Amino acid sequence: MAQKNEIPALIGATLAVAALLGGLWWIFKKSDFSIGNFKPETPTVQASAPIAATTPDANSSAPSQPGMRPGMQGATGGGTASAGRFAGMKDVPSGQFNYGGSTSWAPTRSSLDASIQSDLPQFQLRYVSPNSGPASSGSGVKMLLNRQLDFAQTSRPLTNQEKQQAQQAGISLQEIAVALDGVAVAVNPSLNIPGLTLAQLQEIYTGKATNWQQVGGPNLPIVPISRNVGSGGTVDLFIDSVLSGQSFSSSVQFVGTTTQALQKLGSEPGGVYFASAPEVVPQCTVKPLAIGQTAGQFVPPYQEPIVPKDQCPARRTQLNAQTLGNGTYPLTRNLYVVVRQDVSSKAGEAYANLLLSSAGQEMLEKAGFVKIR
């Protein structure tokens, strides 16, 4: 009897399973789902945008890189232009040689010096900063006298005091001119003034002229800016050549670096500042001025016209090598390699000869200086 009851139950279970399988088949048939078309979701990784190559400028908060100035070619551009051109130079010693000095030389350290290193790997150049205080012509000569450097880079001739110190130490120094540099004056781009005479510059920085109206500009207070006294050859030259040895006025605002000065100048409508021409002329946030010996006869250190701010840095105002080189622009000075007259002089003399070669002069010109050969 029990066996008879199990048969109908088994038949019912079989029919239920068949119905279930049939239903599942119908669902798969009607739907779009298929194992072959199923793709697990994979997270999408967005590629990072390439970092744009930028040129250090006055409105950058990053510290200045030695050797980089707006509008100048960097190590890659300069090195490519003269690849192999220093390789055949004679009387180049082997070894590692220390050098340092004026910040005006900065653009050569990432372009020209890099090319020398590439073409003459046995002539190893090592830039050395002073232990205390900023790098300058004066600190370079001091380190040379203390035998911390094999040669120094300066933006002014040796002073009588430096010559006396060398003599007292039994050292003979030689200065070798390798290029010409200009000192440019810059103002805020909004300031409407055609130029300044050297006499007007003196009045501004000695406190005799305190409003731009006094020197041909608008009714606006003058804010003179300078690097610290004793910070380098550019300030020394300005004191000697423009101020005739007079002291700066108490109204002059002093800063530690040209980068700081240009940042301040860009936000100060009445500001004025002076520095090495390659540091000033190509900048986007300031306006270089024409300078003259007499009123109305201003000479620009730049190629006219000045590039408008809204077109910079795609285009930059360029230095005027002609006015800087022919003496019509009134504020110029030589750049020197200074060497000790001893065994170490071979390195400095070789370096100077490399800079005075056709390849060296070409690269100095690309760095913003005026070649002398």
- Any idea what the CATH number is for the domain that residue 266 is in? 3.40.190.10
Q: 10: exposed, middle or buried (C-beta count within 10 Å: 0-12, 13-18, 19+)?
A: exposed
Range 59-64 average pLDDT: 40
Question: Do residues 84 and 115 make contact, with C-beta atoms less than 8 angstroms apart?
Answer: no
212, 217, 287, 309, 318 from 192: Cα distances, Å:
10, 6, 10, 15, 20
Range 253-260 average pLDDT: 93
Going by pLDDT thresholds of 50, 70 and 90, the confidence category of residue 83 is low
- Is the pLDDT confidence value at 79 over 50? no
Which has more confidence, 5 or 300? 300
Q: Is residue 202 part of a domain?
A: yes
Residue 181's SS3 state is strand
Same domain, 200 and 281: yes
Same domain, 151 and 165: yes
Residues 6+ apart with CB under 8 A from 57: 70, 283, 284, 285, 313
Mean pLDDT of the chain: 83
Going by pLDDT thresholds of 50, 70 and 90, the confidence category of residue 263 is very high
- Tell me the one-letter amino acid at 369: F
Whole-number pLDDT of residue 42: 29
- Is the pLDDT confidence value at 240 over 70? yes
Q: Which domain holds residue 216?
A: 182-325
- Is the pLDDT confidence value at 9 over 90? no
Chain-centroid distance of CA 62 in Å reads: 11
Place of tokens 């003496």: 327
Angle, helix 112-119 to helix 358-366, in steps of 10 degrees: 150
Q: Is residue 234 part of a domain?
A: yes
pLDDT tens readout for residues 136-167:
999 999 999 999 999 999 999 999 999 999 99
Place of tokens 């199990």: 6
Range 323-330 average pLDDT: 96
Q: Is residue 60 part of a domain?
A: no
Same domain, 107 and 134: yes
